[in-house]
Structure 1
Amino acid sequence: MTSLVPRRPGPCRLVYEVDCQRIIEGDSEYISAANETMAKMVYRYPADRQIGDLAQNCTKFKEVYSYNLYTVSQEELDFPIAYTILTYKDAIQTEKLLYAIYRPHNVYCIHVDKISETGPSLLYAMTSIANCLPNVFIASKLEDVIYAGFSRLKADLNCMFDLLHNTDIKWRYVINLPPQEYPIKTNAEIVKILKVFNGTSSIESIHDDKAYYRCNESYTVRDQTIQATGKKKDPPSYNITVGRGSAYGVFSWSFVNFSVNDVKAQEILKWLEDTYSPDEFFWATLASNKHLNVPGVLGFPNRKLWIPVTLSWKANKDCNGKYVHDVCVFGIWDINRVVSEKELFANKFHHDFQPLALQCMEEWFLNKSFSPKPFGTDYYRKLIYSVKTT
């Protein structure tokens, strides 16, 4: 391990009001007490414009937000990773994620919603931050992202186009993220896992009736919402079966290049433009139709290889925080379980909901990054083997 910047020995404390380690360890009695402490705490967060103003002085910004503090190994330097972050509010939350995954040899594209909840101040903040970090940039084309609309997928594709054509960093994989996610694997661990995957993408894909019903009718945008037109769609080209899966994945360079530049991929993308939530179908469809000869995929639907993110759906009833769009926003009672999951990231956290949850995650992750323990990849090797031999 090569330390590019000196660091203090021993565990680092970011949170002084409570002992985060006891929360991470799942000490029930202590978590109850910490919950009472948290209820009495008053939190003040910097506004987007304040963050942007601070980043006008890059030296001060990097000092205050510790962008000069990291460790990186030769194995990591030899395996650059690209990230896209699609953000629409809260520069503070986006910056927390960026800092956690930031390494100077990786590359990061940030897409800011053209009509964000916090207005132009979010773009100002994120542009100011990007100007301070040479391997971070704002997408060259910004979309007005509408929930369940094509613009959501297009935002990711805009960043991926830029990553293919507008950077000299020879990245191996792209991982696309919303700002509400937070890593549970360090950069060093992610590199080890992706080396096991060896060019295979991790994309969720299943074939079910839900895909059919959402893709057999045209939808259009009216009043900033997606509405059905009642018009039936013609069947897609290339005799494909439409797959359904997550909008988020871990995509190899060859898969991204195919998705952005191949004629077949672009025809499928065009067909999906007027469907409901095409971001749930594009990656899954490319990944699960073997006759398309898409590189970096196995060519049949298999959810086992999907490792990007752990999340708790309302139907699972295993959330101790709150639900937003039927997905758990984790609280302090959840993080003991979250940190033990096998996925790369956890979704989702809100910096202003049970704030100690995300703050303790930050402290845990920082110490994990600076004091790495031996990391075994047997689980991921067995996963790859079991799928390829099915």
Structure 2
Amino acid sequence: MDDLWKYKKWKYFINLTGQEYPLRTNYELVKILKVYDGANDAEGTIKRANKERWQNVEPAPHGITPIKGSLHITANRAFVDYVLHNETAQVFLNWTKKTQIPDETFFSSLNHNPQLNIPGSYKGEPETDSVIKPFLTRFVNWESTPFGWKCYGKRVRSVCIFGVEDIPLLLSRPEFFTNKFYIDYQPVALDCIEEFHYNRTRDQYEQDWTFNTTYYENLPFLKNVVKINKI
């Protein structure tokens, strides 16, 4: 984030790892983020949180409720500004360093504590008894998922390492990126999704493709965020 902040001409930050691959083309990502209009996309849970991670430290500062989520986020420039330069964010960051797995607490908590009034953050409950706020930055096939996705590759620490037979599921997903591939495990799977991504990019470049953003336009959480100036 520090390195990116030196540059002025960007509107969204997306952090990734080296073991994932895009499910959307650049063209599609731009279309989706225009629909987001400043809203952040960050995972967050209270009911399923590993609360023992912060039970042995003092309460979080500034009345922040700790939220568990993914380190990987899609966040607007104003949110990044808050993370880097706001005193409350720095104090909270220092608090998370005393907890277990702080990277799964920091961004999610900032995005789901609306009293902080961070631009693009979520003002509602991240989950109810029947509805979990969607998280679109990356798709991961966890063994513990309530959706019952089968893993045709292999699981490593509960995460599916995708194989060839997982490709149909991946191509049906609305997320931006997917995790996880191993270059030395069923590499044809990565070859297949890379070819699909290349073909779609080519077709869009040649204006032989339309991308429907209706699904993203109807995401409920987009209507319940702290407002931000047009980006």
1:308 to 137, 140, 144: 137
2:70 pairs with 1:251: no
Give the drift of 1:285: 0.6
| Cα distance in 1, alignment partners of residues 221 and 161 from structure 2 | 33
Provide the residue aligned with 2:228 in structure 1: none
SS at match of 2:219: helix
> Are 1:348 and 2:173 matched, yes or no?
no
Which of 180, 198, 223 aligns to 1:366? It is 198
Corresponding residue of 2:219 = 383
Uncovered stretches (5+) of structure 2, i.e. residues with no partner: 127-131, 226-231
Which structure would you say has the larger RCO, counting Cα contacts within 8 Å and 6 or more residues apart? 2
1:151-183, CA deviations, whole angstroms, 9 ceiling, x for partnerless residues? xxxxxxxxx011113x3x411101100111100
- Alpha-carbon offset, residue 304 of structure 1: 2.4
Q: Using the alignment, how far apart are the partners of 2:4 and 2:210 within structure 1?
A: 32
> Kindly tell me: are residues 304 and 209 of structure 1, through their superposed partners in 2, closer, same or farther at Cα, counting changes over 3 Å?
closer
Cα distance between partner residues in 2 of 1:385 and 1:284: 15
The answer to whether the 8 A contact 1:211-1:281 is kept is no
Measured after TM superposition, the shift of residue 239 of structure 1 is: 1.2
In structure 2, what is the Cα distance between the partners aligned to 1:235 and 1:311?
Answer: 31
- Per the alignment, residue 5 of structure 1 pairs with none
How well do the aligned residues superpose, as a CA RMSD in angstroms?
1.7
8 Å contact from structure 2 (residues 2, 84) kept in 1: yes
Aligned-residue offset at 1:317: 5.1
User: Is 1:186 aligned to 2:22, yes or no?
Assistant: no
Alignment match, 1:335:
167
CA distance in 2 between counterparts of 1:385 and 1:326 reads: 28
Match of 2:14, SS? strand
- Note if contact 1:247-1:279 (Cα within 8 Å) is conserved in structure 2: yes
Larger strand proportion, structure 1 or 2? 1
Shift of 1:209: 6.2
Q: Deviation at 1:318?
A: 1.0
Matches of 2:121 and 2:97 in 1, distance apart?
23
Of 10, 28, 33, 1:171 maps to 10
Q: Is 1:161 paired with 2:2?
A: yes
Does the aligned pair in 2 maintain the 1:197–1:384 contact within 8 Å? no
**Could you say if the C-alpha distance between residues 304 and 385 of structure 1 is closer, same or farther in structure 2, counting changes exceeding 3 Å?**
closer
1:276-315 alignment, distance < 5 Å: 276-302=100-126, 303-315=132-144
1:180 touches 1:348 (CA, 8 Å); kept in 2?
A: yes
Q: Which runs of 4+ in 1 moved over 6 A?
A: none
Q: 3-state SS of the aligned residue for 1:357?
A: helix
1:162 maps to amino acid: D
Residues 250-269 of structure 1 aligned to structure 2 (within 5 Å): 250-269=74-93
Return the offset for 1:385: 6.5
Q: Is the 8 A contact 2:35 2:216 kept in 1?
A: yes
Residue by residue, what CA displacement relative to the aligned partner does 1:71-99 show, whole Å, maximum 9, x if unpaired? Answer: xxxxxxxxxxxxxxxxxxxxxxxxxxxxx
1:98-127: CA deviations, max 9, x gaps? Answer: xxxxxxxxxxxxxxxxxxxxxxxxxxxxxx
Secondary structure (helix, strand or coil) at the match of 1:334 reads: helix
Q: Partner amino acid for 1:248?
A: H
SS in 1 for 2:155: strand
Mapped to 1, the partners of 2:222 and 2:116 lie a distance apart of 23
TM-score, normalised on structure 2?
A: 0.87
1:335·1:361 contact (CA, 8 Å) conserved in 2? Answer: yes
Q: Could you say which residue in structure 2 is the equivalent of 1:323?
A: 155
Match of 1:205 in 2: 44
Q: Which has more radius of gyration?
A: 1
Aligned positions, number: 213
Amino acid at match of 1:335: I
Identical-pair percentage: 37
Tell me, what secondary structure is at the counterpart of 1:300?
A: coil
How do 1:135-146 residues align onto structure 2 when only pairs under 5 Å count? none
How many angstroms does 1:208 deviate by? Answer: 2.8
Deviations 1:26-65 (A, max 9, x none): xxxxxxxxxxxxxxxxxxxxxxxxxxxxxxxxxxxxxxxx
CA contact (8 A) 1:320 1:333 kept: yes
Cα 1:257–1:305, aligned 2, differ >3 Å: closer, same or farther?
Answer: farther
SS of residue in 2 equivalent to 1:214? helix
In the alignment, does 2:59 pair up with 1:235?
yes
Gaps of 5+ in 1: 1-159, 218-232
Deviates more, 1:314-323 or 1:342-351: 314-323
Report the equivalent of 1:270: 94
State the alpha-carbon separation in 1 of the partners of residues 182 and 203 from structure 2: 26
Separation in 2, partners of 1:325, 1:385: 30
Distance 2:81 2:217 in 1: 26
Shift of 1:280: 0.6
Q: Structure 1 382/317 Cα, relative in aligned 2: closer, same or farther at 3 Å?
A: closer
- Given residue 343 of structure 1, which amino acid in structure 2 is its aligned partner? E
CA contact (8 A) 2:124 2:224 kept: no
